[in-house]
A and B are shown apart, each in its own frame.
Chain A
Amino acid sequence: MPEPLIDQKFLERLERLTLHWQKSFPGLVGGHNASRYPGSGQEFLDHRGFHQGDDLRAVNWRAYMRLEKLILKLFQVEPRVPVRILLDTSASMTTGDPAKFDYARKLAASLTYVGLVRLETILIQPFDATLHDPYNCGGGRHRIRPAVDFLEALKPGGRSNFAPALRNFIAEYPQRGLVIVISDFLDDQSCEKPIQYLADFGHELFIIHLWGDEDRKPSHNGELELEDAETGESVKLNFDDEARAAYVEAFDNYARSIREITMRKGGRYIGLSTATPIEQAIFGSFLEAKGMQ
């Protein structure tokens, strides 16, 4: 039996957290502020006359009994800041011990639960080179189970390409909000520019950069035959301590560049090794980076 993505005890610990963002998005409210826009909310706002095509479920039948007129109840809409989680499902996420993909799904589930507890609307958007079918949830903590089921059903694969994926994302979701990107950012093309483009569009970025220990510092020495998890290409090379030092430096430089772009655009960046326990990551790195409070 596979290990559950998230257990009940951990969920209870997550309930005291809140997703945090810094930006103010025009026309939207976060947290618990009510709106004056009528719509399909829960709180009563006003009455108006019934018109053809209106929803019969919203008719005030008591008023009709008294006045013999069809009067419609209006409810106030709750325009909250959308929280969207971009989850990398490319084949490179399958490497590492534990696999980055499993770690990313656990993180996504934890963030979704934190958002649901605070009645946020959460969108989970899997992607590799393109966007896959998303999952939208909201309405309270009891909606976490379908979200977890969705995450558990995801299968990794495909090549990652941030540029077209984020371009489609911006086109698909023009409303600004908080965008949490969980990925290893190991795109053969550079992914700094797409991230910058996402931030420039008006989204607030929360970058979670995952790596395995072997991704950052390979332990093997000698003659190696490397196989790319995404492309399947193989390369034969000789690897030693000097080459390892150069590798680590290049990796750290790359991570640093992503961090700098994110920070420069007012976002937050967390670099995480999959060897870090999830609880330690949430209650340590996330709080320190003020991604949550």
Chain B
Amino acid sequence: MFFFNLSLGEFTALFGAVSGAVLALYLLDRSRRKIKVATMRFWKPSEKPPEAKHRRRIQQPWSMLMQIIGMGLLLAAIAQLRLGSPDRSSRDHVLLLDTSAWTGARADPQRRLIDEGKINAIRWLRALPGSDRVMVVRADALPTPATVFETNRSAAEKAILESQPGSSALNLQAAFDFARRMQRQHGQSTGEIVFSGAGRTNQTDLPEDNNLPATLRLLPVQVPNRNVGIRRFHLRRAPNDGQLWEIFVAVRNYGRTPEAVPLIVTFGNAPIGSSRFTIAPGAEETARYEFRTKSAGWMEARIQLRDGLLEDNVALLEIPEQKQVRVAIFTRQPELLRPLMNANPRISAAYALPETYKPDVDADVVIIDRFRPPQKPQRPTVWIAPPAEGSPLAVAKSNTNARITRWRAEHPIAHGLHTLDLKLDGATLFTQSPAAETVAEAEGGSLVSTQSDPPAVFLGVHPGMGSLKFELAAPLLMANVMEWIAPEALRRWELDGERVGTVKVALDANTDPSKVQVIGEDQQPLPFSISENTLQFYSATRGNVRVRAGSRETVYSLSLPDVGDTAWEAPAKVRRGLGRITGVDSPVQDLWPWLALLGAALLLAEWLLFGRLRLPVRGAANFLSRFTSFRRAA
């Protein structure tokens, strides 16, 4: 027998204080007693003065005793008096329920691995002593507590039953570390760490055998023997052909026997390629296909095999439409710009004379070549050597010889341009002002400037004329101008079907880290890190993640479950199954409800017998008095 909330000394001190207070209040009761009487005619006050203390002795010992015992019982209830040994009192257990993607597999057609794990977990939970506290933790890549440490078994069972397989692989080491940390931080008396699940994890997340929790218990489940799954599904445009897609599919055999795997890739339900290869246990094979299309649609890779986990047999990617940038060019010399425009297959250029100019021309970009339109265009515009009169940007000098002195390298248009000291005849120099951003400077003004709202680029020199015509800088300048003014349309796309979890992206060598964005399914930026030109981010949920790095955008469709590549083999010393749980044989019994009831009943009885209510139980009080007299006489 022991106190759960108080030590014996604390209880004795409190009980003594309460008893003393009750006794003192009883003896020092100076309150004037109010009595309702039938008449005042016989009442005469005592001739003696009132005594300082009204009670010098206990007049109703039974009442006093009942009060003190009642208080003591209530105090014992608050202190949670328990039967049993203190070392078998409440312990804190952590139940790690495997909710990794692998638990969605089926060892038999009727039941998933997680269902078996739940059953085992609930059996273990019900075998625990009622006073033990349990924290339920859902373990996949990140251990997530589903409950706090509590004795409420129904809440714990509810949390177990509500658990579903996730999409990420199990990080067993992190789960054990988390459980130990929770027990240290919140636990009163360390209990077991119970792992219920399949235990398939990645090689890097395996726990060390000599660092396992001492109180670890495993509730293993039967795992399927065979599983083959798609590890990666990657699409990218061929570098030289905008309509050609290169497709890579990686397939892994997780089972213990070689598997003949039929793989088929379809686009809009039309097969575009198929393979059949035999994969050794634990090995991975990659298939490559090519496919040409301009249209948007869904591309699917599918393994036609019935194995343990069906979720990783299919990967799906959405191919966006190949969008063309329509450029309306108003010029008298289209032959000068045609080679520059034709260099990019995603640009569709339409040439027209300046007389046919319309401000609301149906195009994505307008190029105005050396003339002054009556009205400004309503689209993003590239102005080539505009006349001094009527130029949207103030002209400092026109038709002058100029020499490029500086490229503003921080501007995207100047990206990769380093040509200096180039002599340019008949150039137009713009006045530098805060309204425009200078890209290239010459002596006496700006040679290339931009405005953001509305987007406009001002070129002081024609890229297809003069000495610039023979420079490599001309097509690069024009390509940069078009990418800056129509970034969405000219962005390079890659599509990657990946597994949920950590994704690594190889960046181009000269990628500016400050220009990199990682955007999740909800259009919110995701945290990432860049190390040695490799970007790394993590997502525990399925969905699309976009990685933008300059003009390149990669869409990661995280639709494949991350199945661990290694099955953890626990050392033999680790306890398995339900077995004998400490404390079950001689469980600690909670007495506080009974003590509280008894104490309250005793105080109620005292009030009924001796209090002001004085119900017709006076007989009982008389009996008690007679009993006292009898005992005294005896």
Contacts and interface: CB of A to CB of B under 8 A. Distances in A.
Are A and B bound to each other? yes
A225 B35 contact: yes
Interface in B415-430: none
Given A223-B32, A227-B36, A233-B40, 16 more contacts: A92-B39, A97-B614, A215-B38, A222-B51, A222-B54, A223-B30, A223-B50, A225-B32, A225-B35, A226-B40, A229-B36, A229-B38, A230-B38, A230-B39, A243-B44, A250-B44
- Lowest 8 A-B CB distances belong to which pairs? A237-B45, A92-B38, A186-B39, A243-B46, A240-B46, A95-B38, A238-B50, A250-B42
A222 B33 contact: yes
17 contacts: A93-B38, A100-B38, A184-B38, A215-B37, A218-B37, A220-B33, A220-B35, A225-B33, A228-B37, A230-B38, A230-B39, A236-B32, A237-B45, A239-B43, A242-B46, A246-B44, A250-B42
Contacts of B614: 97
Interface string A88-127: 0000110111001000000000000000000000000000
Interface residues of A, number: 38
Given A220-B35, A227-B34, A238 B41 contact: no
Contacts of A230: 38-39
Contacts of B631: none
A247 B42 contact: yes
A169 interface: no
A224 interface: yes
A222 B37 contact: no
B374 interface: no
A223 B420 CA distance: 114
Contacts of A227: 34-37
Contacts of B35: 218, 220, 224-227
Contact of A186 (B30, B34, B41): B41
If over half of B's interface residues share one DSSP class (helix, strand or loop), that class is named, otherwise mixed; here it is loop
Contact of B45 (A97, A228, A239, A254): A239
Given A184-B38, A220-B33, A224-B32, A247 B44 contact: yes
B95 to A, nearest CB: 55
Interface residues of B, number: 24
Interface centre among B34, B46, B50 (most CB of A within 10 A): B46
A100 B39 CA distance: 13
Contacts of B44: 237, 243, 246-247, 250
Given A238-B48, A238-B49, A240-B48, A226 B42 contact: no
Interface in A149-200: 184, 186, 188
A251 B37 contact: no
B47 interface: yes
A97 B36 CA distance: 12
A242 B47 contact: yes
B45 A243 contact: yes
A186 B36 CA distance: 14
Contacts of A188: 39, 41
Contacts of A242: 46-48
A235 interface: yes
Contact of B34 (A97, A184, A225, A237): A225
Nearest to A250: B42
A233 B35 CA distance: 12
B46 A239 contact: yes
Given A222-B54, A238-B50, A254 B42 contact: yes
A237 B40 CA distance: 11
Interface in B7-46: 30, 32-46
Contacts of B33: 220, 222-225
